[in-house]
Amino acid sequence: MARSPITGKTAVYGIVGDPVAHSLSPLMHAAFAEAVGADLVYVPFHVREAHFAAALAGLPALGVCGVNVTVPHKERAHALAQELTPEAAGIGAVNTLHFVDGRVLGHNTDAAGFSLALDDTGLDWRGRTALVIGAGGAARAILWALGASGATAIHLANRTLARAEALAAAFPQFPIHPLPLDRDHLTPLLHEVGLVVNTSSRGLHGEGHPELELARLPKTGIICDIVYNPISTPLLAAANSMGLRTVDGLGMLLHQGAASFRLWTGQQPPVAAVKEKLEQWLA
Ligand code: ATR
């Protein structure tokens, strides 16, 4: 993609993570900037956990305007931000930092990104009984979005039960029920589950979810995977072949990114057009 030359006036943004080399965010933000004609660059910063605090002090000192924060730094960014939006405070994780007048502002656009991606499908996803798989960092914003959208019950299944229990305890305001990720515990619940969200890293390397008997879900069930590379995970492919509605992780990536871009620049990027570009890159 051709971009205008960097000048002394070009604004610098980026993403801080470990690993970060696989991230689609630099391509996505370059496409956003090109589409709206913004003079900015978006740089991948590979920052190890031990160096995060030093990086966070150095970025605004260098005049960087804002960064996205990804694995494993979102909770640390939450702890170190000087001001938090109510959503970032409630979720307990920050994915967007904005450096304004010497202050470090912490936002979370993941929950809104997830909700907007589901809204885009036109499916009636709110107020259902949900099953969330995985209780790592990525689950926090999903639980928040589901709780805020009025999910009647949220079953939280994780390989390590203690992590699901700890996460449920962190959100006492939502009806979260932790359980182990195994067939015996999942099977009796499935007939009432209207929305399944995989937040675990299962699916990144071609693994499926053998303990999840999709045939037991209601026919109106929606299956969502926040893994976006590959776009169609084995879970989504299996659900598609059974005629269930599926939502891939690309929409959430785009909407959380667009929300960060809007916070930083005040401009709304064209999500649908950039989605097409990302699909071509991932194909
Ligand atoms: P992230 O911040 O991306 O969520 P994480 O905190 O390491 O990353 O969490 C990864 C999640 O995927 C966890 O819920 C993890 O389960 P454990 O808590 O038992 O470790 C889950 N996960 C990873 N690999 C998995 C696998 N092969 N089967 C089931 N769950 C898996």
Inform me whether the pLDDT recorded for 1 exceeds 70. Answer: no
* pLDDT for res 204: 81
pLDDT at 28: 98
Q: How far is 72 from 52, CA to CA, in rounded Å?
A: 10
CA dihedral (34, 40, 46, 52) positive or negative? negative
Compute how many other C-beta atoms are within 10 angstroms of the C-beta atom of residue 216: 15
- Position in ligand 1 atom list of the atom nearest CA 74: 2
Task: Kindly state the average pLDDT of the residues 91-116.
Answer: 97
- CB 198 less than 6 A from any atom of ligand 1: no
**What is the whole-number distance in angstroms between the Cα of residue 74 and the centre of ligand 1?**
16
| Cα(168) to centroid(ligand 1), Å | 16
Instruction: Assess whether the C-beta atom of 137 lies below 6 angstroms from ligand 1.
Output: yes
Distances (CA, A) of 247 to 64, 76, 236, 253, 264: 34, 29, 8, 12, 28
Fold identical between 11-108+252-282 and 112-248? Answer: yes
d(C-alpha 252, C-alpha 223), whole Å? 14
Question: What CATH architecture applies to the domain 11-108+252-282?
Answer: 3-Layer(aba) Sandwich (3.40)
> Among the residues of the chain, which ranges form H helices?
25-36, 52-61, 74-80, 86-91, 110-120, 137-148, 161-170, 183-186, 234-241, 250-265, 271-282
Neighbours of 168 (CB within 10 A): 20
User: 134 CA distance to ligand 1 centroid (A)?
Assistant: 6
Nearest CA to ligand 1 atom 8: 136
Q: Which helix (H) or strand (E) holds 135?
A: none
| pLDDT above 70 as % of the chain | 99
Q: Domain ranges for the chain, please list them.
A: 11-108+252-282, 112-248
Assess whether the C-beta atom of 180 lies below 6 angstroms from ligand 1.
no
> What per-residue confidence (pLDDT) applies to 203?
79
Structure tokens at 224: 């969502």
158 within ligand 1 shell (Cβ under 6 A): yes
pLDDT of the residue at 4: 77
Query: What is the C-alpha to C-alpha distance for residues 197 and 134, in angstroms, rounded to an integer?
Result: 9
- This prediction has a pTM of 0.95
* Cα–Cα nearest to 165, from 154, 174, 152, 176: 176
Which residue is associated with the tokens 């989504």?
Answer: 236
- Residues with active-site annotation: 74
Closest residue by Cα to atom 3, ligand 1, is 138
pLDDT tens digits, residue range 184-239?
999 999 999 999 999 998 878 888 899 999 999 999 999 999 998 888 899 999 99
On whether the 112-248 domain is CATH 3.40.50.720, my answer is yes
Query: pLDDT averaged over the chain?
Result: 96
**Best of 20, 200, 202, 253 to mutate for ligand 1, by most ligand atoms within 8 A of CB?**
200
